[in-house]
Amino acid sequence: MKESSASAPILLFDSGVGGLTVLAALRRVLPDAPVIYAADFAGLPYGEKSEAEIAARVAGLLGRMGERYQPRLACIACNTASTIALGMVREVLEIPIVGTVPAIKPAAAMTKTGVIGLLGTAATIRQGYVDRLEAAFAADKTLLRQAAPGLVEAAEAKLAGRAGVGEAVAEAVATLRAQPGGDRIDTVVLACTHFPLLREELAAAFGPGVALVDGAEGIARRIVSLTGGQAFARRAPNFAVTTGPIDTLEQRADALRQVGIEDLRVF
């Protein structure tokens, strides 16, 4: 690969705006990096799709975005897409690809009771990738997985200024707690980049004795390590693209503005 020019962007890709949690962490450590945020609203939600559908869609979209935007690095800021499509995307793009995986390792190091909850999409929690992370880092712990697709919609609704967040959070927490051993959970992995957008609501529902863990800071550190020594020069404003109608971004303009993005486009 040729040496990246200073203005070559970092591309962050998600099914919606969950990846803004990763972008916020990245801005703290690489404030000068040019960034393009890509939201596949036309494909949302990923968690209810088949593995084949997700792999083909993500690899195809990132292949086209790679050609159009010539990024120096791409980050799949989505647990579902990463656990399913990361290998295929790495075959399509000849640049570094950073994935997002459930933060089971740090959660296992934190838990005192030995019981960890994991909230994710239905597609994420059934992946062999998660099985392997559990075996490697939490073999002596109890990992209780719970599909919480309603939290994706709730996070999107919150950023779009719509109501209905509390009910989805209460349902997800109650269902996880109802599993055998759920009353002993003291650490919860937020295995979807959308879920930290609901951190305040989830913390209130779980109570003060439960730590919430996500991978955004670790992903940002990985991007820093892979771009070490490279120059950054933002010659144009950062922008966001959507595969859906432009109003899918306009409804979330305040959240995008908070991470330095005001230019909104359709891909």
For residue 152, the tally of other CB atoms under 10 A from its CB is 27
What are the b/e assignments for 106-119, b being 16+ CB within 10 Å?
bbbeebeebbbbbb
Kindly name the residue from 78, 115, 125, 249 that is annotated as catalytic. 78
78 is catalytic: yes
Angle at CA 27, nearest 5°, toward 34 and 123?
A: 95
Reduced 3-state DSSP string for 171-206: HHHHHHHCCCCHHHCCEEEECCCCHHHHHHHHHHHH
Tell which residue, 39, 37, 123, 27, has the closest CA to residue 74: 37
Kindly name the residue from 26, 62, 115, 192 that is annotated as catalytic. 192
Rounded to an integer, what is the distance from CA 150 to the centroid of its chain? 16
Give me 112's structure tokens.
Answer: 């005192």
Question: Taking the alpha carbons of 181, 182, 184, 190 in that order, is the dihedral positive or negative?
Answer: positive
Residues 230, 247: Cα–Cα separation, whole Å? 35
192 is catalytic: yes
Residue 190 φ/ψ, nearest 5 degrees: -90, 90
β strands within 31-141, DSSP E: 35-39, 73-76, 97-98, 115-120
Catalytically active residues, by annotation: 78, 192
